[in-house]
Chains A and B, each alone.
Chain A
Amino acid sequence: AERTLRLSLQVATNHPVGENIVYFADQLEEISDGEMNVEIYDSAQLYKGSEIPQAVSSGAIDMGLVLIDEFAGTIPAVGLFSVAFMFPSYEVLARAADPESPVRQQIDDLILGTGSRVVWWQDYGPVQLLSNGAPLVSPEDMKDKKVRVLGKPSGDFIKAVGGVPVKIGGSEQFMAYQRGTVDIGMTGTTAIKSRKLHEVMDHVTISNHAQTEFLVVMNDALWQDMSEQEQSWMTEAARAAEMKMREETKTKNLDAQKFLEDETDMTVTTLSDAQIEAWRAAAKPAIDTYIESAGEAGQELVDSVRALY
């Protein structure tokens, strides 16, 4: 091949996000007729997700997979997708994350400022709340409970509803729930299934309160170095991978939800519109915190999302 790109991802290639990257690599090789190919280093052999922003922008690795939130410390505005109850439905999310959407373009530009170019987005689906004994119907159920959080935006949300945020890593999650280190869990629908969390938590509340978005980023200097032909091959393959992922994610999440309902002892609780509204109102301070730390860009992004409702 004329050009080989090295790509680092922290999950295995049989994980849905990893499968999508393999699909991209195959597409790129096919479209470019073998002129371009991708060497994939999976399972965090090279980098943890948190190391990717620095590794890609410095050129230590050509491309990498990263959770969008990993940029949120440096650029608070990109934490948008983890702000609780920002996206009322899957349709609004799809519109906001579409390659042509102003929300998406603004975030891509902010990230480009760090030397990393966003190649495509991978929807990984909504985040839910887990509990033992009773479902979490209203925000009052969170009062003084210890809740697993993933990062700053989810921590702000839990504080806003009166819970106590505790940071627990993905691999310690199962034990933390089993042994009651935290009272309430938080994770994606598909992860409940893959990490067997239904064995240790008996209720899941479909809160859909935040979205997991993975980004595939690339060193911008390398992008500039590519010919127009190469850039257009990349764009085409990336677009194909992104659309495939978006279609599959919705089905996969609903399937996982159905699996939990039918095949496990877990009780799945969905919320009515009025109940969601109560959660949204309770979580409002978290949106204010987001706008406060993200400044003008944050306000603009919130307005753009609301325009899509």
Chain B
Amino acid sequence: MTLLVVVLCLLVLLFSGLPVAFSLAGLGTLMLMFKGLPVIMVAQNLHGALDNFILLSVPLFLLMSNILLKGGVGRDLFDAVQSWVGHWPAGVGIAALLSCGIFSAISGSSVATAATVGTVAIPEMTRRGYSRSFTLGLLAAGGTLGILIPPSIPLIVYGVITEESIGKLFLAGIGPGLLLLGLFSAYAIFYSVFTSAHTPSPRVSWAERRTATIRALPSLFLGATMIIGIYSGAFTPTEASAVGAVLALIIVIYPLRTFTWSLFFDAVRKTVATTVVLFLVVIGAKIFGKAVTLYQVPAQVSQLVDTHVSSEWMFLLIVAAILLFIGLFLESLSMLLIMVPVLLPTVLGLQIDVIWFGIFFVILIEIALITPPVGLNLFVIQAVAKTKLATVVRGVTPLIFLMLLSVLLIYLFPAIVTFIPSL
């Protein structure tokens, strides 16, 4: 009963257009007041939620990718990849997907990945005669890899909530990231074989390939440094983010020579603004989460699951169904922040690997990013391509099924997730 009232209030506040952060924080505060619990708890969380070294990697990874973005790295990467694979039958599509994959390794966000690669790849694919909806769907879905292939802001936040190692979570995302990249590419090739309205780009000369690759090399090097640095233990994820930000700055200053002070300050200001927006949601969710805990909601959920759900697969199926449903409406980080604390006791109780569960969760968030009515990547691609939402949705639908397939695959073969961190 209480649970129902709380959920209802939250929905009303969220849909009233009140910022998500204040919907959560405000409702949490009211819940404490209603039960006569000390409200000072709210103020403690305003400090406590950010008093955290691991969260520092959020602004720094954002800074890294914003500097590179303003430095025009998206274009360079796409050109380089295209010079190698563009002349294949599904070449331009594969080039777009590979660019998404590579850009994911230097960006922690799906929206940034979709926007950066989309801006350069959509016009090119359209020019080559690919259908509008196929192109937009491929990029909307390809962009979601940004939060699965490390670094990843949702994985950082998940690690903070569950006290799991961020390094391990990052490594765990690589396998499923490559799996999705493979599935998407297979789809692109399959599609190309059955439709022939488009033309591959001409094969380019070795000299052109060399020039394009050299131009993209610094960013590739940076992506590799991140993953190898974390993997080898040279630095913690937070330090990796700082190293990445400074290296990004060096790269745009020297080899790329695209640095200007105004672009730099734009990148910094964008980083500050996005961080504040994200952190406010983190804080709001934390306050709401504590109020919900004091109302014993997670315990009730656990109990409900205990009595009605007997096996791991049933639990995961229910969780997937719930996440797919709320993912239609809710923004990605809020999904994570609201649901993980509620589900965690049951996950631990059923002895599900918490790292594996994090990846499972993030793939479902990726799906939420491309399901209407609220799907951030849909909006981004729609804005970049200046087209109707329906066109993007039509193109992305087959890819949603591929993502569901990947969820099934990591359930059947958990090693896809656990193998790389165990090396």
Residues of A within 8 A of B (CB): 6, 12, 41, 43-48, 50-51, 54-55, 58-61, 168-172, 174-176, 178-181
> Given contacts A58-B38, A172-B166, A179-B231, is CB(A46)–CB(B293) below 8 Å?
yes
The answer to whether B290 touches A171, judged by C-beta atoms less than 8 angstroms apart, is no
Question: Which of the segments B40-48, B201-209, B391-399 contacts the partner chain?
Answer: B40-48
28 interchain pairs, CB-CB under 8 A? A41-B294, A43-B345, A45-B290, A45-B293, A46-B293, A48-B48, A51-B44, A51-B48, A54-B44, A58-B38, A58-B40, A59-B38, A60-B44, A61-B38, A61-B41, A169-B53, A170-B163, A171-B159, A171-B163, A171-B164, A172-B165, A172-B166, A176-B233, A179-B167, A179-B231, A179-B233, A181-B233, A181-B234
Report which of A45, A61, A169, A175 forms a contact with B168, defined as CB distance below 8 A. Answer: A175
Compute how far the CA of A181 lies from the CA of B344 in the bound complex, rounded to whole angstroms: 29
Q: Which 10 A-B pairs have the closest CB atoms?
A: A179-B233, A181-B233, A60-B41, A175-B167, A60-B38, A45-B293, A171-B163, A60-B40, A51-B48, A175-B165
The answer to whether A172 touches B236, judged by C-beta atoms less than 8 angstroms apart, is yes
Compute how far the CA of A279 lies from the CA of B232 in the bound complex, rounded to whole angstroms: 32
The answer to whether A179 touches B232, judged by C-beta atoms less than 8 angstroms apart, is yes
Report which of B163, B235, B298 forms a contact with A44, defined as CB distance below 8 A. Answer: B163
Query: Which residues from chain A contact B41 at a C-beta distance below 8 Å?
Result: 55, 60-61
Smallest CB gap from A6: residue in B: B294
A96 → chain B closest CB, angstroms: 31
CB of B193 within 8 Å of the partner chain: no
CB of B341 within 8 Å of the partner chain: yes
> Given contacts A41-B293, A60-B40, A175-B233, is CB(A12)–CB(B348) below 8 Å?
yes
Query: Which residues from chain B contact A175 at a C-beta distance below 8 Å?
Result: 165, 167-168, 233
> Given contacts A12-B348, A55-B41, A179-B231, is CB(A171)–CB(B48) below 8 Å?
no
Query: Which residues from chain B contact A176 at a C-beta distance below 8 Å?
Result: 233, 236
The answer to whether A171 touches B165, judged by C-beta atoms less than 8 angstroms apart, is yes
Interface of A is mostly: loop
The answer to whether B233 touches A180, judged by C-beta atoms less than 8 angstroms apart, is yes
Compute how far the CA of A179 lies from the CA of B165 in the bound complex, rounded to whole angstroms: 13
Smallest CB gap from A179: residue in B: B233
A176 → chain B closest CB, angstroms: 7
Smallest CB gap from A171: residue in B: B163
Smallest CB gap from A10: residue in B: B163
B117 → chain A closest CB, angstroms: 31
Smallest CB gap from B231: residue in A: A179
Compute how far the CA of A172 lies from the CA of B52 in the bound complex, rounded to whole angstroms: 14
The answer to whether A178 touches B233, judged by C-beta atoms less than 8 angstroms apart, is yes
Query: Which residues from chain A contact B163 at a C-beta distance below 8 Å?
Result: 44, 170-171
A201 → chain B closest CB, angstroms: 13
Compute how far the CA of A49 lies from the CA of B166 in the bound complex, rounded to whole angstroms: 20
Known: A55-B41, A179-B233. 4 other contacts (CB 8 A): A45-B290, A58-B44, A180-B233, A181-B236
Query: Which residues from chain B contact A47 at a C-beta distance below 8 Å?
Result: 48
The answer to whether B298 touches A45, judged by C-beta atoms less than 8 angstroms apart, is yes
Query: Which residues from chain B contact A50 at a C-beta distance below 8 Å?
Result: 51
Compute how far the CA of A176 lies from the CA of B344 in the bound complex, rounded to whole angstroms: 25
Query: Which residues from chain A contact B44 at a C-beta distance below 8 Å?
Result: 51, 54-55, 58, 60
Compute how far the CA of A141 lies from the CA of B418 in the bound complex, rounded to whole angstroms: 36
The answer to whether A174 touches B233, judged by C-beta atoms less than 8 angstroms apart, is no
B343 → chain A closest CB, angstroms: 13
> Given contacts A45-B293, A179-B233, is CB(A174)–CB(B38) below 8 Å?
no
Compute how far the CA of A56 lies from the CA of B81 in the bound complex, rounded to whole angstroms: 58
- Bitwise, B197-238 to A at CB < 8 A (1) or not (0) is 000000000000000000000000000000000011111100
